[in-house]
Amino acid sequence: MSETSNWLVHDHRKYDEALEACEMAAEVGEWKNATRLFKEFVKDLKLHMRLEDEVLYPFFIKELGGSEGEIVDLSEEHDDLVRLLRDLAYIIKTNDFDHFLDSIEPLHKAMTEHSKHEENVFRCMNNDSLLAHRDEILARLKSLQHNEGRRTWDF
């Protein structure tokens, strides 16, 4: 597996673990901790999604000739994830574990499916070219951090 796939897989596993930790804290009634873990997870994921939406996805299409359809599907999955995250951001405030479970379970499932899908798409493409352009990608990412993302996160 290439370095790029490893990087993606590493982040995806990290988010998987973050959701598990959040669920475990809520299960034992540590809502303050669960909320903190959730907020950290969202902050991290926002940057991860921006990197994909605004740097990696366009790069795959423009520079590597990747399929636009595949990228549209992945972007739509991001939209679904944002909706599920918005629900959970609201539900977690109620400190009601049953409602919380009803909200975190579909989110966790959607995250897992999206990660798998994304890893497959990226694996099928030419990761060596991506690695050869790593400096350029990192420079683009740096420039992103100075402006607001185009995705609307109202939480």
Q: Tell whether residue 54 is a contact of Fe ion (CB under 5 A).
A: no
Q: Tell whether residue 52 is a contact of Fe ion (CB under 5 A).
A: yes
Q: Which is nearer to Fe ion, 52 or 54 (CB)?
A: 52
Of the candidates 14, 6, 26, the one whose C-alpha atom is nearest the C-alpha of residue 105 is 26
In the complex, least distance from residue 130 CB atom to Fe ion, rounded to whole angstroms: 14
Please give the structure tokens belonging to residue 27: 């299960």
Using CA atoms, how far residue 118 sits from 9, 75, 155, in Å, is: 9, 10, 25
Q: Which is nearer to Fe ion, 23 or 118 (CB)?
A: 118
In the complex, least distance from residue 52 CB atom to Fe ion, rounded to whole angstroms: 5
Give 94's DSSP letter.
G
Site for Fe ion in 92-151 (CB under 5 A): 118
Q: Are 27 and 77 in contact (CB under 8 A)?
A: no
Q: What is the size of the binding site for Fe ion (CB under 5 A)?
A: 2
Q: Which residues contribute to the site for Fe ion (CB under 5 A)?
A: 52, 118
